[in-house]
Copies of this chain bind each other. A is one copy, B any other.
Amino acid sequence: MEKTTKILLGHGSGGRLTHNFIQSTLLKKFDNPILSELADSAVIDYQEKIAFTTDSFVVSPLFFPGGDIGKLAVTGTINDLVMLGALPEYISLALIIEEGLEISILEKIIDSISSYAKAAAVKVVTGDTKVVEKLAADKLFINTSGIGRLLTSRKLSVKNISCQDKIIITGNIAEHGFSVLAKRKELDLKLNIKSDCASLNGLILPLLEKTTGIKFMRDPTRGGIATTLNEIAEASNLGIFIDEKNIPVSKKIKAVSELLGIDSLYVANEGKALLVVVPEEADKVIRLLRRHPLGKNAEIIGTVVKKPAGRVILRTVFNTERILDMLTSEPLPRIC
């Protein structure tokens, strides 16, 4: 791909360009062991270990089936903390608002933030409000940063992953991305796809008490499971073998994916986690996950292998094998 001097939408895709930008620009400048973990949250060693995370949300439209930008922000930040094995406790809320936005819309979104924060026992403890003139931003952008208390003394880290570990997805994929896309194309009533946007604290945190077999977790948001699996493969320098027929996906999503020609493996999830689990515990983890409504479709979808190091291999439903690459450009901008 040609080198670009301008920021492309792909730089925000969560895929290859984002990855390169982070590696070549951000990590070089801000090199420190906490950031270079490139986990969803930073873990900060006070006397008690805490996790710290940030995310901006620029989703368009602001409301979509199954959620809105406010729910997305709170649950997204909660999930980033949960992925580190932290109990989410405090979040910040920073609003960048376009002049002229209806206050009733803002209030609806804030209600949503409030109710999902309360449901997860998370407190909004600091905030900031900026308003920019008309056309200088698109309606509303939200940043939520979060702090959580680390629950587990075992460090969840991509460095713990080894061959034969199992890859688990906690449920059906691609529902968030397609729900936003359907809304945007005004196909939402026809397609009736709801975003999976949800807080994962209730599903994941109890699990960590019942098994020590989980080595690493990440929520496959922008770029979908394909991108997250590639990140895990690269960071662990191991291969990942995925069996497509085991990936849980609803019939509706399959149909939309074919209709629109967009591969579900690259489409954002907002209420799912990928877990890397020791092989002996994988079945137990699946059993535990399926007891919870958010985990009822959990499946083992793959295995960590030695080679090809840093790559993801997909055995397709047609029984062929191919490399599953990271996303390069952005098929679905502003999905979160």
Q: Residues of A at under 8 Å CB distance from B? A: 4-13, 18, 21-22, 25-26, 29-30, 32, 34-35, 39, 41-42, 44, 46-48, 50, 52-58, 60, 89-90, 92-104, 106-107, 110-111, 113-114, 117, 123-133, 135-138, 141, 143, 145, 147, 149, 330, 333-334
Contact = CB atoms under 8 A, between A and B. Distances in A.
B12 A132 contact: yes
B103 A6 contact: yes
Contact of A101 (B6, B46, B104, B130): B6
Contacts of A52: 90, 92, 125-126, 145, 147
A304 to B, nearest CB: 26
A110 B29 contact: yes
Contact of A11 (B32, B48, B97, B141): B97
The SS class assigned to the A binding surface is mixed
B12 A44 contact: no
A25 to B, nearest CB: 6
Nearest to A35: B125
Contacts of A46: 46-48, 50, 149
Q: 6 closest Cβ contacts across the A-B interface?
A: A12-B131, A54-B92, A42-B125, A145-B145, A47-B47, A143-B143
Contacts of A141: 96, 137, 141
Given A52-B147, A138-B136, A124 B92 contact: no
